[in-house]
Structure 1
């Protein structure tokens, strides 16, 4: 397989990065794509670990993570419009309960469908979502992606800007284990357009032993 071969979605595509790691033409776009693929391989491996969020009765049926292809046009560096003081916002959860989340500001994303302003939250210090994160919904939900929406973590950038990379969008934990309580995207973070990048709906099959 040549280094110019296109990356595929699914576990087979994820493992392609092991071959690509030995190919290097130094192009920035390929380097970015490889970093995304490496992160996906790592997440897939974590999901397969004995201590993963997958319940034991579903682990044998797990068929690996599935993703859209990498598209760098869905990576944005944008100013963080901070609130003067972080406040709390009550978000509904998949359990039917509500939970307070720390709201720190907003970002405006120049999507192909037009600008969209999204609310940014701050995770707790021990929260695996990281320091800044956005829960969002879009028109792929229930038709390719998890029906309740997805999350994306933000990376810090110079001049109080942040990187919002939807190629790194991932499913909430409750997509894999319904016993977990997951905040749902607020109405203001619903995008009236598809975001065809990032993690897709989880794949589960039927184990041979069942």
Structure 2
């Protein structure tokens, strides 16, 4: 029987929460933290054979152009829906808002979501889930896209650091159940940032 786990790495990515300007050291801390987690047999999603030889994940070079301050337009009258996953599990999410931003002169937008069950806890009530895919997916990046962890901001903008994007656990081990990136969050550009494909 497949082990079914909701894949969210909130503890590892507090560096981006509340951030309002690019700081290279935040992205470097992210890389150190995720490498430490993956190297530890107690927290690693890697299969046993991969864990034996694991030294580091492969990252794109940290690049300030992939840190954006996006305009956040909160959704209205949205209903919870079942998000498809890599297994038969269908967790309920609700669209929280749409983030509008620009990279390389291209206007882009991504929907951000709240996990319905997760939002019921005081600890995670402000957590936002940003899954996305782009033109690097299936080539340099994981074919299934990547995730970014965010927190509900106080204002009408939100900082998104693609340098801190990471692969679903499914990229490393099929026993996990991972949300599939919604079609509306497929970007028609290359985002050369964050964790690369795992070889």
Instruction: Mark yes or no: TM-score above 0.5.
Output: yes
My pick for the range that moved more, 53-62 or 167-176, is 53-62
Q: Residue in 2 aligned with 1:42?
A: 33
Gaps of 5+ in 1: 1-27, 204-210
Higher RCO, 1 vs 2 (CA within 8 Å, ≥6 residues apart)? 2
Per-residue deviation, 1:155: 4.2
For residue 170 of structure 1, the aligned residue among 166, 173, 178 is 166
Q: Which moved more, 1:173-182 or 1:119-128?
A: 119-128
Cα distance, 1:149 vs structure 2 = 0.4
Distance in 2 between the 1:188 and 1:172 partners?
A: 18
Cα displacement (A) at 1:86: 4.6
Match of 2:108 in 1: 116
RMSD: 2.4
* 1:122-145 deviations in Å (ceiling 9; x for gaps): 1315799x7012110101011111
Q: Is the 8 A contact 1:80 1:160 kept in 2?
A: yes
How far apart, in 2, do the equivalents of 1:196 and 1:58 lie?
25
Q: How many residue pairs end up in the alignment? A: 173
Give me the whole-angstrom Cα distance separating, in 2, the residues matched to 1:82 and 1:159.
11
- CA shift, 1:47, in A, is 0.7
Q: How does 1:1-210 map to 2 (within 5 A)?
A: 32-52=23-43, 53-95=45-87, 98-112=90-104, 114-123=106-115, 124-125=118-119, 131-203=127-199
How far off is 1:102 after superposition? 2.2
TM-superposed CA distance for 1:59, in Å, is 1.4
Compute the displacement of 1:187 (Å). 0.8
**Equivalent residue of 2:96, what SS?**
strand
- TM-score normalised to the size of structure 2? 0.77
Change in Cα spacing, 1:156 to 1:72, as seen in structure 2 (3 Å) is farther
Q: Displacement, 1:84?
A: 2.5
Residues 70 and 201 (structure 1 numbering): CA distance in 2 closer, same or farther, change over 3 Å?
same
1:151-192 deviation per Cα after TM superposition (whole angstroms, max 9, x unaligned) = 112245452321111111110111122110101111100011
Residue pair 1:121, 1:133 contacting (<8 A) in 2 also: yes
Unaligned runs of 5+ residues in structure 2 are 1-20
Query: Aligned partners of 1:98, 1:157: CA distance in 2, in Å?
Result: 27
Counterpart of 1:208 in structure 2 is none
